């Protein structure tokens, strides 16, 4: 993740092989900016914030920034798989909450932290599976279904938890949250691992090709014998799985399972995917793009905070950037 340059979204490697346009032509091509929006945005933010507030570039702050971005990176990856099938998962943040609550309750019931983590991931994966099943079997639009499960699992979370947060005092989670290996904290390594695995799944497996084919032209893919419904269900299940991993990271970070939905996680996950150059119409995706998009959004909030900009302005800034990115995307070839 730290060296995005050598890992251009694979969408690019194809074009680059044939002919290399001159740098000037490249810079004048809006499609270049569309494909690289997240990288350009991140670099721009780093420069601006670095000049305005040198603390921003301190090692401590950059480490904190990466740590804060880890959860969003993992969620953005999940969202990417769904959006690549031309769907959207609005229940992502609610699934994180459900996962956190199940983790907290199972742990509180004395089953040990590993069982709790596994059950949390299983539960959120099941939510994703259910989303996919209802969308494909019921032929219902994705946003209706996931909006429904958003509400449903929010309620389930409140019922299970009684509306009360559960403290999770686990040394394992504490070490996960605060320990580090080399320059990065463990959560950052989790995010890096997620990026690598997802990248391989998307670009180097048969599933990845079928996923993009399903998102690009579902009917054509079906006509060629690709089982598009299964592919979609798998995408939503992956999204749910990512929500579970994010839930573990979240509980580790705040030390308790809160029956609260962090709606900005949902919005930012979609925003990161858009910034990452993934087509909302499906069929075109990368993993590094959204991951860098997630970094960029986190850097934005981090920088604004360092500049003492009121937290009230931050959603405004995020919203403006996302709409701007979506506008630039129109020029994507």
Partner 1 sequence: MSAPHHIPAAEAIIACEGLSKHFGGIRAFTDVAFQARRGEVTAVIGDNGAGKSTLIRSLVGVHQPDTGNLFFDGRARPFANPDEARKAGIETVHQNLALIDELTVAQNLFLNREIVRRIGPFAFLDRKAMKREARSMLSRLSINVPSISQRVRRLSGGQRQAISICRAVGSGAKLVVMDEPTAALGVQETANVEALIRRLREQSVSVILVSHNFDQVRRLSDQIWVMRAGKMAATVRASETSGNELVALVTGAA
CB of 30 vs partner 1, minimal distance in Å: 16
CB of 208 vs partner 1, minimal distance in Å: 8
Compute the distance between CA of residue 115 and CA of residue 68 in angstroms, rounded to an integer. 25
Compute the distance between CA of residue 305 and CA of residue 220 in angstroms, rounded to an integer. 48
Choices 138-146, 160-168, 209-217, 315-323; region in contact with partner 1 by CB under 8 A: 209-217
The reply on whether position 82 binds partner 1 by CB under 8 A is: no
The reply on whether position 206 binds partner 1 by CB under 8 A is: yes
CB of 297 vs partner 1, minimal distance in Å: 25
Choices 98-106, 213-221, 242-250, 293-301; region in contact with partner 1 by CB under 8 A: 213-221
Residue 163 CA from chain centroid, whole number: 26
Residue 300: which residues within 8 A CB-CB, separation 6 or more?
45, 314, 317, 318, 321
The reply on whether position 210 binds partner 1 by CB under 8 A is: yes
Number of residues that bind partner 1 (CB under 8 A): 29
CB of 223 vs partner 1, minimal distance in Å: 5
What x-and-dash track marks residues 12-31 binding partner 1 by CB under 8 A? --xx-xx-------------
CB of 93 vs partner 1, minimal distance in Å: 28
What is the enclosing helix (H) or strand (E) of 185?
strand 184-185
Place of tokens 């690009």: 216
Residue 266 CA from chain centroid, whole number: 9
Q: In this structure, what are the phi and psi dihedrals at residue 179, rounded to the nearest 5 degrees?
A: -75, 165
Q: Please, are residues 188 and 291 in contact by the beta-carbon 8 Å criterion? A: no
Q: In this structure, what are the phi and psi dihedrals at residue 112, rounded to the nearest 5 degrees?
A: 90, 150
| Nearest residue to 246 (alpha-carbon basis) of 71, 68, 64 | 71
Nearer to partner 1, 14 or 181 (CB): 14
Residue 18: which residues within 8 A CB-CB, separation 6 or more?
none
Question: What residues from 217 to 246 belong to the interface with partner 1 (CB under 8 A)?
Answer: 217, 219-221, 223-226
Pairing of strands 180-181, 184-185: antiparallel
CB of 212 vs partner 1, minimal distance in Å: 6
CB of 9 vs partner 1, minimal distance in Å: 13
The reply on whether position 330 binds partner 1 by CB under 8 A is: no
Counted residue by residue, the chain has a size of 333
Q: Please, are residues 77 and 268 in contact by the beta-carbon 8 Å criterion? A: no
The reply on whether position 284 binds partner 1 by CB under 8 A is: yes
In the list 62, 209, 309, 326, the residue contacting partner 1 (rule: CB under 8 A) is 209
Residue 10, beta-bridge partner list: none
Choices 132-140, 216-224, 251-259, 312-320; region in contact with partner 1 by CB under 8 A: 216-224
Q: Which residues bind partner 1 (CB under 8 A)?
A: 14-15, 17-18, 200, 203-210, 212-213, 215-217, 219-221, 223-226, 279, 283-284, 333
């Amino acid at each position: 993740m730290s060296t995005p340059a050598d890992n251009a979204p694979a969408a690019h490697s194809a074009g680059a092989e044939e002919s290399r346009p001159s740098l000037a032509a490249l810079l004048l091509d809006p499609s270049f900016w569309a494909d690289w929006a997240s990288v350009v945005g991140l670099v721009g933010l780093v420069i601006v914030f670095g000049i305005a507030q040198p603390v921003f570039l301190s090692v401590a702050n950059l480490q904190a920034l990466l740590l804060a971005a880890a959860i969003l990176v993992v969620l953005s990856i999940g969202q990417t798989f769904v959006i690549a099938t031309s769907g959207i998962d609005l229940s992502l943040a609610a699934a994180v909450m459900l996962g956190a609550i199940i983790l907290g309750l199972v742990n509180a019931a004395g089953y040990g932290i590993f069982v709790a983590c596994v059950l949390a991931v299983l539960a959120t994966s099941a939510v994703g599976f259910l989303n996919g099943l209802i969308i494909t079997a019921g032929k219902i639009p994705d946003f209706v279904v996931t909006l429904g499960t958003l509400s449903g699992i929010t309620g389930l979370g409140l019922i299970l938890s009684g509306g009360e947060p559960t403290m999770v005092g686990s040394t394992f989670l504490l070490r996960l949250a605060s320990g580090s290996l080399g320059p990065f904290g463990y959560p950052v390594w989790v995010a890096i691992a997620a990026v690598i695995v997802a990248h391989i799944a998307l670009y180097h497996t048969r599933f990845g090709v079928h996923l993009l084919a399903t998102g690009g032209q579902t009917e054509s893919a079906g006509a060629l014998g690709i089982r598009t419904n299964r592919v979609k269900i798998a995408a939503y299940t992956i999204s749910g799985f990512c929500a579970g991993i994010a839930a573990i990271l979240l509980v580790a970070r705040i030390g308790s399972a809160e029956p609260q939905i962090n709606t900005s996680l949902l919005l930012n996950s979609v925003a990161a995917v858009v910034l990452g150059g993934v087509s909302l119409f499906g069929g075109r995706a990368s993993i590094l793009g959204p991951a860098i998009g997630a970094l960029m959004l986190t850097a934005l909030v981090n920088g604004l905070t360092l500049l003492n900009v009121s937290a009230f302005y931050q959603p405004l800034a995020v919203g403006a950037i996302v709409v701007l990115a979506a506008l630039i995307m129109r020029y994507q070839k």
